[in-house]
Structure 1
Amino acid sequence: MATKILLPIDHTDQNSWKKALPVALEQAKFYGAELHAVSVIPEIIQLPNLPAGYGSGAKAHVQSAVEAILARNGAKDVPVRIAEGSVYREILKLAHKDGYDLIIMASAEGEFPNYEIGPNLARVVRNAHCTVMVVRG
């Protein structure tokens, strides 16, 4: 039984949420669980060769983009967390630290039997302390 569900969303890739968001909403309703979304800003904005302030405003932009996605898809009240760093590490750290017991993530699109399992999804599945539900793209 899930009590806290985490849904990672990449605002630049609708495959990360198009099928996974409805499943997450359904699971949250079924279990009476809290649903939270997270989006991770990759480490690239922290590279030393980029100009100072390169990533300023990134968190606010991503927050607003994810909130818009959620609002358009019947999930406007879902809280959003924005993290910076390695995508899979930040998802795993947040899930463990805040006591999530279910992570719902989408796979990339692919034809049967070769569904795409990217490196972030693979690492979350392998290393998560809790159940990970993979929604096929």
Structure 2
Amino acid sequence: MSTSILCAIDVNQLDADREVLRTAIKLARVDEARLDVITVVPDFGMSVVGGYFDKGFHDKAMAKARKMLNDFVKSEIGADANSGVRHIIATGKAYEEILHAAHEAGSDLIVIGSHKPDLRDYLLGPNAARVVRHSDCSVYVVR
């Protein structure tokens, strides 16, 4: 039985993650668990690439990701239920931020999608695989 569920959503792949969110919602309702949703914005500011973006680019990207995540969740569960969901917008490597958010929130289940892998995923490992390997709590992978 879960008391706190963290659902990882990629706002750049909302169609692919629709079933991920629906699964997390079902699991949260069954267990009457708190539902948190997270999306992670890449951290361009810490690399050489960051110099090519305007100074306010990161803040704009965070605001856009927050709106996209909020609108997406609201469209699936309605405005009233959405108001009880905690929306987390993080910056960094997706798997690290998902694991950090789960730890901080005391989540006992992470729901994450397994996107179609490409060659680089076989060499490096996709975010879902890294979350599964390093998580302190259960992970439900939606295919």
Same fold (TM over 0.5): yes
Deviation at 1:101, TM superposition (A): 0.3
* CA contact 2:9–2:20 (8 Å) conserved in 1: no
Aligned amino acid, residue 104 of structure 2: K
Return the TM-score normalized by structure 1. 0.86
- Residue deviations 1:53-101, cap 9 Å, x none? 3323221111001001111111523220101011110111111122100
Q: Which has the higher helix share?
A: 2
Aligned to 1:65: 68
- 1:64 & 1:98 partners in 2: Cα distance? 21
C-alpha contact 2:7 2:38 (8 A) present in aligned 1 = yes
Following superposition, the deviation at residue 109 of structure 1 comes to: 4.0
Give the structure 2 partner of residue 34 of structure 1: 34
2:97 to 70, 90, 96: 90
CA 1:91–1:16 in structure 2 vs 1: closer, same or farther (change >3 Å)? farther
Give 3-state SS (helix, strand or coil) of 2:6's partner.
Answer: strand
**Runs of 4+ more than 3 Å apart:** none
Closer, same or farther in 2 for the Cα pair 1:15/1:129, shift >3 Å? farther
The count of aligned residue pairs is 131
| TM score, norm. by length of structure 2 | 0.82
